[in-house]
Structure 1
Amino acid sequence: MLETMLRLQQRLNDETNGEGWEAGLTRQGKRIDWRRCIWLEAAELVESYPWKHWKNIAAEPDYDNIRIEAVDIWHFVMSEALRLNRIEGDGEIASLAERIATTPEYRSFAEGEGERPDDLYEQIAVVESFVAALFRREPIEELTARFFDVARLGALDLPTLYRLYIGKNILNRFRQDHGYKEGSYLKEWNGREDNVVMQEILEAEPGIEPDALYRALEEAYPGT
């Protein structure tokens, strides 16, 4: 599952930014900063908590959104891992997957061990610890280890992370192929957001393959 996700992320980045994006530039010459992407998504995750003392702090955290934000963060964590592996490692995705998979944190996450803290401020501290590792420019293994702590906040396990990642990855590919950058893409599909349609397909067919999911999105897209 880990290697499949890394390969799909590589493909998405190649198609979206152009091959050679690991050097830090898109095909149009625009700078790429995956770590900035990560901490901005992490900030959006924190906004799912009722942490603001001037508002209703008795409200429940929005765990559904925390789960989705964690999956979005995972896209960027893998992108940074792929970049570093191309620059500092051997560039092989299989060996990158092995590096991550042999860490104790990954094995614990894959085996469903560990739980999120009960206190919401302790949960927020988990995100802050992850961002701190990001700013310290920690290596791939440390960055992914701290991410798995964040993933647990949304009650994610490896199969759920995989399923949601596959869905969002293919949807992102579909968006790019249907005019997302040009502004012609339709995000509302007959009164429903594309995210909702994608999740409905996943729920109806939990084991759907990536290419089959793409075809299902194509069939559901307005005007096709």
Structure 2
Amino acid sequence: MPDLTAFPITRRWPAKHPDRIQLYSLPTPNGVKASIMLEEIGLPYEPHLIDIGANETWTPEYLALNPNGKIPAIIDPDGPGGQPLALFESGAILLYLADKTGKFIPHDVHQRYETIQWVFFQMAAIGPMFGQVGFFHKFAGREYEDKRPLQRYVAESKRLLGVLESRLDGRDWIMGEDYTIADISMLGWVRNLIGFYDAGELVDFASLKHVPAWLERGLARPAVQRGLNIPARG
């Protein structure tokens, strides 16, 4: 049985099944990337709910795993060479799990890097810009009298959706016929933008054709539906 006691986070969130991948997360657009991927690949894992509203990511135990204080993070007790591996950053987790299982990433080197570039596109653009729309449209930022920040992030989010719309023209998935970690990285964010953030009208989502169809295909996957609600909120 693997010994995870070297990781301080396991003192606050004990592992009932230390032989399984330990997931520390919350069902946010970033968090569900990891849970959807874990559901898709079928590896045993144990989810732990991290309450960001209670600042649990800023506890010493959590910061020992992720010094950036964000979710998600994982510990794989059976990492490279059979040694435990701790990882944070959702994009890194997606890539690691894809490489570990050989699933949802092309084996062809050219297509592999093309897939990775779209994951980076999500990390660098989709996530930050959609998140700012959420802040300025739904959360505290909506009270700001100056609407220029909201207008800026809405315009950029519309542009990014246009990039996705062009990419998906003639394709079922970001990489064509095959569903990959590129799709997994973006599904939660697009769903959140038009759902929880209620920004569909702001970004003219109804004017798009390919992105809504792609989102519907993604959300129809059973593993995606399960992953969107893991870890279960109390």
What's the TM-score once normalised by structure 2's chain length?
Answer: 0.28
Greater relative contact order, per chain length (Cα 8 Å cut-off, separation 6+):
2
What's the TM-score once normalised by structure 1's chain length?
Answer: 0.29
Query: Hey, which of these two has a bigger chunk of strand by percent?
Result: 2
Query: Hey, which of these two has a bigger chunk of helix by percent?
Result: 1
